[in-house]
Chain A
Amino acid sequence: MFQQFSFNHVLFMLTGLGWTIGLAAIALVGGSIAGSVLTLMRVSSNPVLSRIAQFYIFVVQGTPLLVTLFIAYFGTTYLGFSIAPLTAIAVAFSFYAAAFLGDIWRGAIQSVPVGQREGAHALGLSRAHAMRYIIVPQAIRIATPPTVGFFVQLIKNTSLASVVGIVELTRTSQIVSNATFKPLEVYLTAALFYFLVCFPITLFSRSLERRLSA
């Protein structure tokens, strides 16, 4: 006998939503740290570092996140490391986010007009000072809208974490759907939850874009 799709199921799905947001936050923090390193490597004057970073970005951007996830989880287990699903996910998502954020941020830094760098250098500011006080503050303005946009994608992509056993929103929906056999209602509810989280962020990104271009 199937259960009725009830408020308790919705509450259960909300706990899943909590995990979804948590995973996205982990990915954002981990991805930002690794992405910063990649960005610095990409814009450094050392061609070897820059190439390594570029290669990394190409490989990760050209690989499905699901496959990265399988490698991080099943691959490491196969090699004999016992790795918690959450750790595998934190690592895979961070690596994935880093590749995109690194690229977004490199683009932002390089789109600051070259005259800004020259102005800073002509004043005697060192490269590090020019970067810190002149280039990066302007690059942040340029990078904010696409970064926020990427974060929305990241939130949705956390649904992939269900395949390695994290009981996030998509996984809770599967469970509830199996128990109630009401897939349409259940998945529409899940879609609504994703939307309610992502839409305000999209709006925020739009308004940032407007404000920063003004």
Chain B
Amino acid sequence: MSASDSVVSARKVSKFFAGFQALRDIDLDVVKGETIVVCGPSGSGKSTLIRCLNALEQHQSGELVVCGIELTAARQSIDAVRRRTGMVFQNFNLFPHMTVIENCMIAPMKVKGMSRDEARATAERFLKRVHIPEQADKYPAQLSGGQQQRVAIARALSMNPDVMLFDEPTSALDPEMVREVLDTMVELAREGATMICVTHEMNFARQVADRVIFMDKGNIIESGAPETFFAKPETDRAREFLAQILH
């Protein structure tokens, strides 16, 4: 692996919240083109981990390099990393006062300095890619949950990020909406996007993940190919977890 292929490089990254440790000495490497699924019981630190990668949470110790930039408390490092990472949230976090296409245009215009026309063209391209170009002029509240999440994916993609971070993207969706969002994510992964997904969708992991990471109590306790992880989990914690979610 050459240094330029590294998207995430974490060494002994730790994060504390008042009174407890959310991440313990996390070591993690992700290279360009990889799709990683992060799973684990609630409170295991998986969301905290992914939120540290774009500094929505700040780690307190260890070294974290994302897209070649070392994340520190310095504003410039945080801004630089955020420009190169896209994030999709559990609750979409679309901007309700803007239309779908405006949601996708604001960052390219204000962060990258694109013209309105250029940003519109880019946004249209990505809305097409998530199969909802016809919703461009609606407001988020007029869309279904699945459509909103696909807009959120298009919005993140329109910044042309080096890595996409998904924080439980299907957990807030009605069951019948999960499919369309996962299909979009599968397409992305197959097109070679670098993705780190916190999700409990084990079928998604089986289909496209290069690696599954299992976390418990702030530690990464297993990391391996999905076939191996599902067939032969090494730890009791992982076995219990899989037994609970696969039934």
Residue contact A119 to B97, C-beta cutoff 8 Å: no
User: Whose C-beta in chain B lies nearest to the C-beta of A135?
Assistant: B95
User: Whose C-beta in chain B lies nearest to the C-beta of A115?
Assistant: B93
Q: How far is the CB of A97 from chain B (nearest CB, A)?
A: 26
Chain A 108-132 interface 0/1 with B at a Cβ cutoff of 8 Å (1 = within): 0000010110111111111001000
Task: Give bound CA distance, A137 to B56, whole Å.
Answer: 22
Task: Give bound CA distance, A123 to B56, whole Å.
Answer: 11
B89: chain A residues at CB < 8 Å are 115, 118-119, 122
B106 in the interface, Cβ–Cβ < 8 Å?
yes
B100 in the interface, Cβ–Cβ < 8 Å?
no
- The DSSP consensus for interface residues of chain A is helix
Task: Give bound CA distance, A126 to B110, whole Å.
Answer: 9
A133 in the interface, Cβ–Cβ < 8 Å?
yes
Residue contact B96 to A123, C-beta cutoff 8 Å: no
Task: Give bound CA distance, A125 to B85, whole Å.
Answer: 12
B234 in the interface, Cβ–Cβ < 8 Å?
no
Residue contact B56 to A124, C-beta cutoff 8 Å: no
Task: Give bound CA distance, A125 to B156, whole Å.
Answer: 12
Task: Give bound CA distance, A116 to B92, whole Å.
Answer: 9
Residue contact A122 to B110, C-beta cutoff 8 Å: no
B87: chain A residues at CB < 8 Å are 122
Q: How far is the CB of A135 from chain B (nearest CB, A)?
A: 10
Residue contact A133 to B93, C-beta cutoff 8 Å: no
Residue contact B91 to A123, C-beta cutoff 8 Å: no
Task: Give bound CA distance, A122 to B78, whole Å.
Answer: 10
A134: chain B residues at CB < 8 Å are 95, 106
B107: chain A residues at CB < 8 Å are 123-125
Give A residues with C-beta under 8 Å from B: 113, 115-116, 118-126, 129, 133-134, 137-138, 141
Q: What are 17 inter-chain pairs, A to B, with CB distance below 8 A?
A: A118-B56, A118-B89, A118-B93, A121-B82, A122-B82, A122-B86, A122-B89, A123-B82, A123-B111, A124-B111, A124-B159, A125-B111, A126-B111, A129-B111, A133-B110, A137-B97, A138-B95
**For the complex of A and B, 5 pairs with smallest distance between CB atoms:** A119-B93, A123-B107, A122-B87, A124-B83, A115-B93
